[in-house]
Amino acid sequence: MEPEVRQRTRPTWAEVSLGALQHNFHLVQQHVGAGVAVCAVVKADAYGHGARMCARALEAAGACWLGVTGPDEGDALRNAGIKARILLMTGFWRGEEDDVLSRDLTPAVWEPEQITLLQQAALRRGVVYPVHLKVDTGMGRLGVPMEDLPAVCEALVASPNLRLEGVMTHLGASEIMEAMQGQKACFEEAQAVLHSFGLYPELVHMANSGATLGRPDTWKNFVRPGLLLYGYSPQLWRGGKVTDEVPPLAVQPVLEWKTRIISVKRAAVGQGLGYGRTFVTARSSRIAALPVGYADGLNRALSNRGRVIVRGHYAPIVGMISMDLTLVDVTDIPGVEAGDDVTLLGRSGACAVDAVEHAAHCATVPYEILCAISKRVPRKYVD
């Protein structure tokens, strides 16, 4: 366990429950069954939870695969002593191919140039190296388009030092049946093209968190959950409202974000609060100042909308969230004083605030809320 960072003037921190993370991993593995490998996605610093510690916990829980963005994230995990297979989901940049091989990272590829670079690097080392082919089935981002797939297959066949271990795609809307079925059909067509070139990858994968949760027909033998592992079932936003579109899995939020009150002041009727006086008191009020702001990742769109938890009660955010400070109205909460704990994300008593609630206020997704918690917020690992 890493030592805690001592906080004096800015008592703001995030608690990351490694036990909850492992619990969620086990739930997902049980959900998909022993015949399906779970690639635990820890890209973007494990969605803001801390990739090094989360990767260690996931590996200890039995994760044989971890998913990252590129070689820099893979290097960091290897430097942390991670031994699990690491999938580079967005491949590598030219010039990084030797690092890919030397650190035993498994890249996604989709262009002949990538294949050539890896073939040359593997030939220099006298090894046969595994790669995963990424196919664009409708997401419109990375991946080989269907019309270019034969040329990529020819490049793979002509590369004796490469082994096509996997074929993958990314679902753009796993919650929308029509879109998902179209991508599934395209992916199956891509596999048929591979087979026509004598390429039979052993790992076939397309399921993200949403598909892992509710679309068993996409599991194949390999799934790539991300948000689900951190305690949030994927949601579909329509018209500003959140609706559950897939059956639930009893995952637990892994991160709680906390701070402490540093000041409590009286505000008279008609007092403007914060930059721009966007909130004016309609009554004599008690206003608490929190040492957290948008530089810490507390989204400015929560100004005059969001809420926190103080002494087991909700306290509304009042005025504009500034870079380092946020004000909350504690008038209706008895006994509040400087030093009291405040929950920004998490549960306290019967009250709870989560990243889905923040996302709804900010017209975004919980992924962004979690990833935006900045590096100056120390992570304290428990369990």
305-to-6, 13, 41, 133, 263 alpha-carbon distances in Å:
31, 22, 32, 45, 21
- CB-neighbour burial class of residue 378 (10 A; exposed 0-12, middle 13-18, buried 19+): middle
User: Under a CB-based contact definition with an 8 Å cutoff, are residues 306 and 361 in contact?
Assistant: yes
DSSP track, 278-309: -EE-SS-EEEEEES--GGGT--GGGTTT-EEE
Q: In whole angstroms, what separates CA 262 from the centre of its chain?
A: 31
Residue 275 DSSP one-character state? G
96-133: b or e for each residue (b if 16 or more CB lie within 10 Å)?
bbeebbeeebbbbbbbbebbbbbbebbeeeeeebbbbb
User: Under a CB-based contact definition with an 8 Å cutoff, are residues 55 and 80 in contact?
Assistant: yes
- Residues annotated as catalytic (active site), given as ranges: 43, 275
Element (H, E) at 345: strand 341-348
- 318, β-bridge pairs: 327
Residue 71 tokens read as 């070689």
35-to-30, 65, 265, 368 alpha-carbon distances in Å:
10, 14, 59, 32
* Torsion angle defined by CA atoms of residues 299, 301, 304 and 309, in that order, rounded to the nearest 10 degrees: -30
Any idea which residue has 């069954």 for tokens? Answer: 33
Q: How far apart are CA 158 and CA 172, in angstroms?
A: 32
* Nearest alpha-carbon partner for 105 in 122, 82, 88: 88
356 φψ region: left (φ > 0), alpha (ψ -120 to 50), beta (else): alpha
Q: How far apart are CA 87 and CA 166, in angstroms?
A: 10
